[in-house]
Structure 1
Amino acid sequence: MKKSQINYFGKWPMVFLSVFMMIYSFSAVEAQRRANRNAPVFSEFVYQGDDQVYRDYPLEDDEFYSPILQGCYPDPAIVKRGDDYFMVHSSFSMWPGVPIFHSNDLVNWTQIGHVLDRPSQLKVVDSGISAGIFAPAIKYNEHNETFYMITTQFAGGIGNMVVTTKDPFKGWSDPYRLNFNGIDPSLFFDEDGKAYVVHNDAPDPGKELYEGHRVIKIWDFCLEENQVIEGTDKIIVDGGVDITKNPIWIEMPHIYKKYDRYYLSCAEGGTGGWHSQVVFVSDNPRGPYTPAPGNPIMTQRYLNPNRANRVEWAGHADIVEGPDGEYYAVFLAIRPNEKNRVNMGRETFILPVDWSGEWPVFVNGLVPFEPKLKMPKGVVNRTGEDGFVPNGNFTINEDFSAENLDFRWIGMRGPREAFINRTRNGLQITPFENNIKAMAPVSSLFIRQMHNTFTATTTMSYTPRSESDLAGIVCYQNEGFNYVFGVTRKGNDTYLLLERTERGESTILASTKIDVRNPIHLQIRAEGDNYRFNYSLDGTEFKNLGGTVSGDILSTNVAGGFTGNLIGLYATSGNDVQPE
């Protein structure tokens, strides 16, 4: 064989490889094009809150509303460094995890991100919505100029964990797993440089006296290893304020130092109707601790259940010095609807705390909470302006044109970036095979319900190609309790359907044939427990589908768990229901 022939035939493997790569690339592009053709594009979303309480109580110039964060932002914890306040909240299986907010005045807040925003930190891929991340606490250690966020992750085999950062604006470390059981850990850094962890735990084996009997433990904490020191654990509260009265669920402890003494503040009574805040004091961080004679120092459990503008379940507080030198506490509570159902979840409230005497006193913490408070001296209310979180009745207009999606939008069990794509026409959601009932990542972009009375409207362009394709808008309490208002296909026709899922069982409440050659406008209108799902083909005239339906399945009363209703822009290629 001639040399030229050898060179000629030697080129063929490269030619074949090049052709193969071209075919593969074309196939991949074509597959993505076909997938995108089945992917809805949401060009607009408008949320409008209209609760009567805010119309009845307009703000004066020196006032602000409480809750300061409306919707499902439970279990608040707060820390101050200099003029900066940072506040974190439970996120369960929402993604990213542990929303973190910043303020300079306790009134105007900006969300700066999430503490847990990487798969190496958050492992909730197969967790129920009310599993995952519970009760974070955030602390600052001036001795090493480090922030700590400590929490319990009921997923991924992690358990109790801590992450650290020098700058909360720039991200957090991977987790350090902590060698103790129980929940609700918090750190305390003393003036002498020593560090401690306190947390809720079960009594010693064989010593549980009743259902809900828990204890508070303390450990010495090694700052070099980010780990508790073996053998240093000690029970410092057994049962609660008075164990002879069988107190339940003493939890979420925080230690504060004042008057050269150590104050231990905890929630007691469970995170429901008997919730409260209590306090103890000691001359040593490791105890013994003596309860205040006036416990509980905050609760709404003794009040008239028929009072106006009810706030219930108050507790789980964290105390901080305000910008005016006075003290304030952030805590969780709920605002039930007219049927006593909790659809917004546990929200973040604030109250001033008078600590001029021996014990901290929550100002008006034992009487019905007012919907508005006086601002700290020198503060100007700018909520809803210049990037600050809105408060009261407000409107959110989202056209998805911003370079960065607002932090208020979240995924479930996995990154939102896995299924969203910005296009020149709006936000495209690439459908997962998992549908909304799966205990797995779902292709739905969620925002929290923040009012008992609200309207949420979105504009969607979408043509389903098969009966397994569906896209639309959802109300989602959890994987077993939700409403789906979506467009799908049956035979050669396109339908809009309303699906109710209760305890995992789905029912089609109503359906209608529609023309989707133009965008469809989908709308949810809620007035307390009454929800209506409306649609429009021209953007002006809306029609109802399914009548007025109950929000019962969107409440924690019926669905259980610890979250509030989420409103989602949703797509799936695994639809398992068909129009009637």
Structure 2
Amino acid sequence: MKRVNLGGHRSLKRRPVGLLFVFMSLVTLAGFSQNKNVPVFTQAVYQGDDQVYKDNPLKADEFYNPILQGCYPDPAITRKGDDYFLVSSSFAMFPGVPIFHSNDLVNWKQVGHVLERTSQLKVHDTGISAGVYAPAIKYNPLNDTFYMITTQFAGDFGNIVVKTKDPFQGWSDPIKLKFNGIDPSMFFDEDGKAYVVHNDAPDQGKELYNGHRVIKIWDYDLENDQVIAGTDKIIVDGGVDLSKKPIWIEAPHIYKKNGKYYLMCAEGGTGGWHSEVIFSSDNPRGPYKPAPSNPILTQRHFPRDRANKVDWAGHADIVEGPDGKYYGVFLAIRPNEDDMVNTGRETFILPVDWSGEFPVFENGLVPMEPKLKMPEGVENKTGQAGFFPNGNFTFTENFDSEKLDYRWIGLRGPREDFMTITKKGLQIKPFPVNIKEVKPTSTLFHRQQHKIFSFETTLDYKPASEKDLAGIVTLQNEHSNYVFGITKKGDEYYLLLERNEKPRRSRQVESKIVASTVIDIKNPVHLKVQANGNDYEFSYSTNGTDFVNLGGTVSGDILSTNVAGGFTGCLLGLYATSANDAIPE
């Protein structure tokens, strides 16, 4: 950097031109003048407009199901007194494992993320559908401690546990656990003993068919936070009935009621045959007997073309509610009319009838309805006073608060590494990373939460070269996404729409410029993506009022897990890169 000699006070007075030069230099060095090459997003507005909510308005004693719309899969829940805490999978999203709090199971506030530090979450070099799977949260009243146990397919972690006395105040660094398999959860018995149960492969040489899995249990040492070597035991082999070759028994949870132990698991895989099954025993280590009424939750038996379809229901967890009744949270999907799953797997809730020996999800074996009766004495406050919204809603982010809403997430790395809140809006420092790369990207994401939605932002940006691009990305994963952004070619500035996809049996991502146009960037540009089911449209405005479509109507197929594969829902991102390879045509 060139050294500036300020000289004395008198010489500055004698040379007003020099004073002006020095002042402007200091302003520049202090960062007060905006570098237009660094994009600034001044507002983002997400709006959902699904027909199901228009057709099913709420009465005073009702609330909508799902309780968490968008990609919040694999829910698990625990209770301490009047406080309920719920977590879900986050894969390679950063921070990881969103955690929600409620006092009534209807109104939920996100209170942060369990894995929010790079020491806890090492997903910087993994695909979006790897990382953190199926977290389970459990409160142990005997030592007044909360535990979150999960599998992290990244960072040389495997199965880990973190813990805290207060979920509002953060969690410990991970403790690596010495067992294989996935989907672990913990059980704390009244006698002080602790256990871990999880999905695993059958013993070597005993796999009978593809999808044959087992449930194992270990004794757990609470003093040293480790499973006790040699205590592992298979308590379920294959599933409810091994002769029927059940697949993917997983996501186990143990409960105790009236002196008996209950093991609840998902069975059938996380797709169309998904279900929830239950077993009982007189001992936490088994043997476990399946309920004669299994499954206790599934949506697999109904016509594919049913109205307001909810499908893939399973991967559940049960808790006693404030009214003394039991409730179960679980994942399910709401596909669009083309049977695409762009919103991903969402978190639902149902009351559970446990008046008999085994629990059964109420109305969990008939086509599910979009709304439920609230527990007695509860008022629906969703979308108000910080409570998470559901149904149709509008979320407006002006980027004028130092604390970013928890709904905004990064991918593979901390948001703070690339974003700064300034007086003019959100500034994103472009990484030399393309959205198609398996690296941390400079992108701030919001989940798609409706089949019919719009997502709009205002961008102030002047790219310096063809390598620079900023705008919106709609992303299912690193090889299935649309990029809608401003870049440069020669001496002109362009807005382009690019489709990235990896056809089946192909190792390469195929990129296609759907459309491009020269654009005036003298003023901030408004960018918008909107969808109606599987039809997506991208448009822009240079005056803030009149929007022009670019590329016509394009298919949202690559934004669905049905086509793209993986486990996430579509993410809507504010994206910037200095490694652009999309060249306008």
Range of TM-score over shorter length: over 0.9
Q: Is the 8 A contact 2:419 2:426 kept in 1?
A: yes
Give me the whole-angstrom Cα distance separating, in 1, the residues matched to 2:33 and 2:192: 61
2:539 pairs with 534, 541, 564, which one?
Answer: 534
Following superposition, the deviation at residue 36 of structure 1 comes to 4.0
Q: Is the 8 A contact 1:36 1:430 kept in 2?
A: no
Residues 237-248 of structure 1 aligned to structure 2 (within 5 Å): 237-248=236-247
Tell me whether 1:362 sits opposite 2:361 in the alignment: yes
The AA in structure 2 aligned to 1:501 is: N
The AA in structure 1 aligned to 2:203 is: D
Give me the whole-angstrom Cα distance separating, in 2, the residues matched to 1:90 and 1:538: 40
Give me the whole-angstrom Cα distance separating, in 2, the residues matched to 1:404 and 1:316: 33
2:66 maps to which residue? 67
2:510 maps to which residue? 505
Tell me the TM-score normalised to structure 2 length: 0.94
Following superposition, the deviation at residue 365 of structure 1 comes to 0.7
1:331 maps to which residue? 330
Give me the whole-angstrom Cα distance separating, in 2, the residues matched to 1:489 and 1:405: 30
Q: Which moved more, 1:27-36 or 1:407-416?
A: 27-36
The AA in structure 2 aligned to 1:353 is: V
Tell me whether 1:47 sits opposite 2:52 in the alignment: no
> Which runs of at least 4 in structure 1 moved beyond 2 Å after TM superposition?
26-37
Which deviations, in whole Å up to 9, do the C-alpha atoms of 1:260-309 show, x marking residues without a partner?
00000000000000000000000000000000000001100011111100
Q: Equivalent residue of 1:130, what SS?
A: coil
Which deviations, in whole Å up to 9, do the C-alpha atoms of 1:320-361 show, x marking residues without a partner?
011111000000000001110100000000000010111101
2:565 maps to which residue? 560
Give me the whole-angstrom Cα distance separating, in 2, the residues matched to 1:285 and 1:462: 60
Residues 133-282 of structure 1 aligned to structure 2 (within 5 Å): 133-282=132-281
Following superposition, the deviation at residue 505 of structure 1 comes to 1.7
Structure 2 CA distance for partners of 1:28 and 1:143, relative to 1, 3 Å: farther
Give me the whole-angstrom Cα distance separating, in 2, the residues matched to 1:538 and 1:483: 24
Q: Is the 8 A contact 2:448 2:570 kept in 1?
A: yes
Tell me the TM-score normalised to structure 1 length: 0.95
1:525 pairs with 527, 530, 538, which one?
Answer: 530
Structure 2 CA distance for partners of 1:407 and 1:355, relative to 1, 3 Å: same
Q: Which moved more, 1:502-511 or 1:158-167?
A: 502-511
Following superposition, the deviation at residue 37 of structure 1 comes to 3.1
Give me the whole-angstrom Cα distance separating, in 2, the residues matched to 1:294 and 1:324: 26
Which deviations, in whole Å up to 9, do the C-alpha atoms of 1:112-161 show, x marking residues without a partner?
00000001100000010000000000001111100000000000111000
Residues 435-450 of structure 1 aligned to structure 2 (within 5 Å): 435-450=434-449
Q: Is the 8 A contact 1:420 1:428 kept in 2?
A: yes
Give me the whole-angstrom Cα distance separating, in 2, the residues matched to 1:178 and 1:577: 44
Q: Is the 8 A contact 2:401 2:421 kept in 1?
A: no
Give me the whole-angstrom Cα distance separating, in 2, the residues matched to 1:328 and 1:143: 24
Q: Please report the RMSD computed on the Cα atoms of aligned residues, expressed in angstroms.
A: 1.7
The AA in structure 2 aligned to 1:154 is: F
Query: Percent of aligned positions with the same letter in both sequences?
Result: 71
Structure 2 CA distance for partners of 1:28 and 1:95, relative to 1, 3 Å: farther
Q: Equivalent residue of 2:187, what SS?
A: strand
Following superposition, the deviation at residue 34 of structure 1 comes to 9.9
Q: How many residues align?
A: 560
Tell me whether 1:38 sits opposite 2:37 in the alignment: yes
Following superposition, the deviation at residue 35 of structure 1 comes to 9.5
Q: Is the 8 A contact 1:485 1:496 kept in 2?
A: yes
Q: Equivalent residue of 2:442, what SS?
A: strand
Give me the whole-angstrom Cα distance separating, in 2, the residues matched to 1:133 and 1:219: 21
Following superposition, the deviation at residue 32 of structure 1 comes to 7.4
Following superposition, the deviation at residue 207 of structure 1 comes to 0.2
Give me the whole-angstrom Cα distance separating, in 1, the residues matched to 2:34 and 2:222: 50
Following superposition, the deviation at residue 403 of structure 1 comes to 2.1
Following superposition, the deviation at residue 33 of structure 1 comes to 8.6
Following superposition, the deviation at residue 435 of structure 1 comes to 1.2
Structure 1 residues without counterparts, runs of 5 or longer: 1-15, 20-25
Structure 2 CA distance for partners of 1:74 and 1:273, relative to 1, 3 Å: same
2:347 maps to which residue? 348
1:371 maps to which residue? 370
The AA in structure 2 aligned to 1:545 is: L
Give me the whole-angstrom Cα distance separating, in 2, the residues matched to 1:429 and 1:209: 52
